[in-house]
Amino acid sequence: MAKKEFEQTFTIDRSKWKNRRTFTDSNLLTCLYSKDEKGRVQMCCLGFVCNQLGIPKRDLDKKRVPNNLCDDWDIPYLLNGRINTTLAMDAISINDSSRSSSSKKEVLLKKLFNSYNLDLKFVGEYKGV
């Protein structure tokens, strides 16, 4: 069986991935990009995707969802005009769920992205959990 060719691959660094299971501060909001109380970078899954699509971290700072960027950026896979795509909304739901462990979220997010012919890789180790 031939290896599946994905349209694009995105990488999430576990040490910076913020989801409901990896909080390092008291802030309950998951943003595309933010820093915790100690100045450590934290990004949700879509923050990593947006950054790897060329959006600078400064533009992602404290934005909650991709359509918060729609006036300045056209974001493939995540925006349809000014509306978050189903992929974006499903990824947000998985990332922010309080019912799944981080490792289960990895499996669910990979499966979701693969269903759109996109690859999602997780690297590194969790920190601050």
Q: Specify burial of residue 96 (Cβ count, 10 A radius: 0-12, 13-18, 19+).
A: middle
Q: Check residue 17 and give left, alpha or beta (phi > 0: left; psi -120 to 50: alpha).
A: beta
pTM (2 decimals)?
0.88
The closest of 76, 63, 55, 93 to 7, measured between CA atoms, is 76
Concatenating the DSSP letter of every residue in 14-45 gives TTTB--TT---SS-----SBEE-TTS-EEB-H
- The string of pLDDT tens digits covering residues 2-60 is 567 889 999 999 999 998 755 544 555 688 998 888 888 899 999 999 999 999 999 99
84 pairs with which residues across the strands? 79
